[in-house]
Structure 1
Amino acid sequence: MPGPTRSRKLVEAMIRSGEKAAAHFCQISGGEWFDEAPEYFLSTYVARSAGNHENTFALLEVQVDQTRKEAGASRRGRAANHERRNGRFDVVLYWANGNPRAAVEIKSPIWDVTEQQIRPDIDRLCSALLANSSSTFQFGVFLFYASVGKPERKHDNATQRMRDLLERIEEKAIEWTARRGAEVILIPGAVHKGKEDEDGAWSIASLVITRTGGKRSFLTT
C-alpha cells in the first residue's frame, strides 16, 4: 500500500487548488477578484484537494476540542483564550488510520500585515501542535489569499508589492511562532497580476507551522 503523501507536496497542491478557486470565481462572477468571494469558497477547494491524495482524508469545520482529543493533543487545565477550543478548524487533514495529521486555517482576503487578522489563527495552530510532542499532529497550515491594489505611484510594481507583503507576513509569523517555541515555513504560490500590472496583484500562499527542529522533516517527509 502506498504511504502518505509527502507534506510539502500536499500543501503545494492545496495552494494550486486555491488558485483554481480564484480562477473559477472570476469566471462565474463575471470577472470579480477573489477578494469578493466568501472565505468558505476557498476552504472547500482546499479540502477537496487534500482529500484527493493517497491515504489522506479531509473534513471541513471540525471542532477544535474534538480534533485535539483525537490527536492526543489535549492538556489539563483551563484553556487559554487564543486556543478557542469551542471553535472549529476550517479544515482538518487525517492520516489513513483516521488520526488528525494537520489543522488548516483559511484566511481571505488579506491586504496588509494585520495582527488581529492573522495572529489568532497562528496561535491556535501553535497551541494544538505544541500541546503534546507525541500527538498525531505533524504540522499546522495557515493558508491565505492576499492581494494588493492599484499602485499609488506610476512606477510602482504590483508584483513586487505582492512579494513584499508575503515577506512581511512571513517575518511577523516567524516572530510570533518563535515566542511559542515553534517554527514557520512560507510556501508561496505564484503571483498573479490583473489584466495590466497597474491593476494590482494577488497570491495564495501557506505558512506551515512545525515544532522546533521540524522544518527538515516537513520538507523531506
Structure 2
Amino acid sequence: MPGLISGLELVEAMISSGEKAVADFFHISGGEWFDEAPEYFLSTYVARSAGNHANTFALLEVPVDITRREAGASRRGRAASHERRNGRFDVVLYWANGNPRAAVEIKSPIWSATGQQIHPDIDRLCSALLANSDSTFQFGAFFFYASVGKPKRKHDNATQRMRDLLARIEEKAIERAAVRGAEAILIPGSVHRGKEDEDGAWSIASLVITRAGGKRSFLTK
C-alpha cells in the first residue's frame, strides 16, 4: 500500500508527538512538570500524531468490545476480568480500510516499575492481540510518560535514574507478556532533564506488544 507507515515509524512518531505534548503543557501551565497534566492531554497528542500519516487513522476512547469485533479478535465464552470488555481503549489506530491496526493504552505519570501500574494494560493488550492470529491487529502499545524527582543524595544522577526506571519497566513488561504468550519491546524516547540535573528527569516511551516471534519483523522498518 503506497505511503503506508511501518509500525515502528508510527510508534516513533507518537513518541515525538508525546514529547511535544510535554513542551506545550510546560508552556501553557507556566512551567509545570507534565506530572500535573491529565492523562487525556497525552492521549490527544498520540491520536493526532497517528492521524497525521497517510493511510492511518485514530480514534479516542473506543469501546474494547467493538474494537475487538471489528478486528476479528472476539472469542466466545465468558470474558476474563482483565480483558475489560465493557471498558475503552485510550486510542485505537486504524488501517486505511477502517479495520483496527493497534490498540493503545496510555499511562501518565509513571514513577515506579510496579506490577500494579504495568500489568493490567499489558494483560488487556495481549488478550486482544492473541485472541485470533488472523485478526487485523498488528501490535498493541503501552504508551507512557515517566519521571523521577530530585535525587535524595547529592551525587545521584537523575538521568541515570530515569534510564534505570525505563529498564525496570521494560523487564516487568517482557516478563508479563511472556506469561501471556506474547513479546514486549521497549521503544524509548530521549531522557530529558529539568533545568538542572538535580531537578529530576522525564521520558516518553512505548512498550510495543507483538505476537510471539513478531519482535524482529516489527523492528524492521
Give TM class, smaller chain.
Answer: over 0.9
Provide the residue aligned with 1:141 in structure 2.
141
Q: Whole-Å Cα distance in 2 between the matches of residues 73 and 220 of structure 1? A: 25
Tell me how far 1:156 sits from its aligned partner: 0.4
**RMSD, aligned α-carbons:** 0.8
Which sections of structure 1, spanning at least 5 residues, go unmatched?
A: none
Tell me how far 1:3 sits from its aligned partner: 3.9
Percentage of matched positions with identical amino acids: 85
Tell me how far 1:130 sits from its aligned partner: 0.3
Q: Whole-Å Cα distance in 2 between the matches of residues 84 and 117 of structure 1? A: 16
Q: Alignment partner of 1:190: what SS?
A: strand
Residues 118, 172 of structure 2: 8 Å contact kept: no
Provide the residue aligned with 1:58 in structure 2.
58
Tell me how far 1:127 sits from its aligned partner: 0.2
Tell me how far 1:65 sits from its aligned partner: 0.2
| 2:34 maps to 1:41 | no
Tell me how far 1:191 sits from its aligned partner: 0.4
Provide the residue aligned with 2:197 in structure 1.
197
Residues 72, 132 of structure 2: 8 Å contact kept: yes
Query: Which amino acid in the other structure matches residue 42 of structure 2?
Result: L
Tell me how far 1:4 sits from its aligned partner: 1.8
Tell me which stretches of 4 or more aligned residues in structure 1 moved more than 6 Å: none
The normalised TM-score by structure 1 is 0.99
Q: Whole-Å Cα distance in 1 between the matches of residues 51 and 217 of structure 2? A: 22
Instruction: Give 1:163-178 correspondences, 5 Å limit.
Output: 163-178=163-178
Q: Alignment partner of 2:76: what SS?
A: coil
Query: Which amino acid in the other structure matches residue 34 of structure 1?
Result: F
Which sections of structure 2, spanning at least 5 residues, go unmatched?
A: none
Provide the residue aligned with 1:30 in structure 2.
30
Deviation per CA, 1:57-108, whole angstroms, max 9, x where unpaired?
A: 0000000000000000000000000000000000000000000000000000
Q: Alignment partner of 2:132: what SS?
A: coil
Residues 103, 140 of structure 1: 8 Å contact kept: yes
Provide the residue aligned with 1:155 in structure 2.
155
Q: Alignment partner of 1:9: what SS?
A: helix
